[in-house]
């Protein structure tokens, strides 16, 4: 009888141990584990991309984005207690290498409003020339000689050979259109799809 009871206890212990070991999830360290937990406290995200990060809290919260340069660097989240995946977006024009997303508990059940933790994002593949390229595209879009027949930006984006030959020089693009483009039947006032 003792042997049977020992075997039963050993079997129950083995089942409980196996269930516990294989169903245990270890999450990232949090400075305030009683209030919030993250699937990752540091992530690497390419500029112009996003990542989903698991987050859990029993309290309502708010998020602030630390130093960043892009208006397209932001986070999608519910700001309500529970378990969710938050989506962290990094703008294509982001120039800050490390962006912090600060999570603060903002709940009437918690008296201390200074309880917070953060996710640090290592921004990868930053395009240092993005601002310059964006300025060049804006110069094409706002070129003074743009009219209903010719738009420097549209002409530039429609034709790879013109991008290679003239770059983002709107006057050169206009000159080409007037001397060759019209006669060649090139489109300069609306986007076209070339295959």
Say whether pLDDT at 105 is over 70. yes
> What does the chain look like in DSSP terms, one character per residue?
-HHHHHHHHHHHHHHHHHHHHHH----B--SSTTTEEES-SEEEEETT-EEEEEEEESS-EEEEE-S-S-TT-EEE---SSEEEEEEEE--TT---SEEEEEEEE--TT-S-TT-EEEEEEEEES--TTHHHHHHHHHHHHT-TT--SS--HHHHHHH-HHHHHHHTT-HHHHHHHIIIIIHHHT---SS-----
Return the pLDDT at 92.
87
- Between residues 116 and 30, which one has the greater pLDDT? 116
Return the pLDDT at 147.
95
Q: What is the pLDDT of residues 14-54, one digit of tens each?
A: 655 555 544 444 455 677 888 999 999 999 999 999 999 99
Say whether pLDDT at 183 is over 50. yes
Return the pLDDT at 23.
46
Q: How confident is the model at residue 132 (pLDDT cuts 50, 70, 90)?
A: confident
Return the pLDDT at 25.
47
Query: Which CATH superfamily includes the segment(s) 36-124?
Result: Immunoglobulins (2.60.40.10)
Q: What is the pLDDT of residues 68-79, one digit of tens each?
A: 998 899 999 999
Say whether pLDDT at 94 is over 80. yes
Return the pLDDT at 24.
44
Return the pLDDT at 14.
63
pTM assigned to the model: 0.60
Say whether pLDDT at 5 is over 80. no
């Amino acid at each position: 009888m003792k042997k049977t009871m020992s075997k039963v206890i050993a079997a129950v212990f083995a089942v409980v141990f196996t269930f516990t070991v294989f169903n245990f999830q270890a999450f990232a360290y949090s400075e305030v584990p009683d209030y919030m937990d993250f699937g990752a406290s540091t992530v690497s995200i390419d500029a112009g991309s996003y990542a989903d990060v698991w987050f859990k809290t029993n309290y309502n919260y708010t998020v602030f984005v630390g130093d960043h340069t892009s208006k397209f660097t932001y986070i999608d989240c519910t700001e309500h207690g529970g378990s969710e995946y938050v989506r962290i977006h990094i703008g294509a024009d982001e120039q800050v290498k490390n962006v912090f997303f600060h999570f603060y508990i903002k709940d009437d059940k918690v008296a201390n409003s200074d309880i917070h933790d953060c996710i640090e994002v290592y921004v990868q593949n930053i395009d240092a020339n993005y601002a310059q390229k964006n300025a060049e595209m804006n110069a094409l879009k706002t070129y003074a000689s743009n009219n209903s027949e010719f738009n420097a930006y549209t002409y530039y984006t429609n034709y790879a050979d013109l991008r290679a030959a003239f770059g983002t020089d709107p006057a050169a693009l206009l000159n080409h259109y007037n001397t060759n483009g019209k006669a060649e039947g090139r489109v300069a006032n609306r986007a076209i799809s070339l295959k």
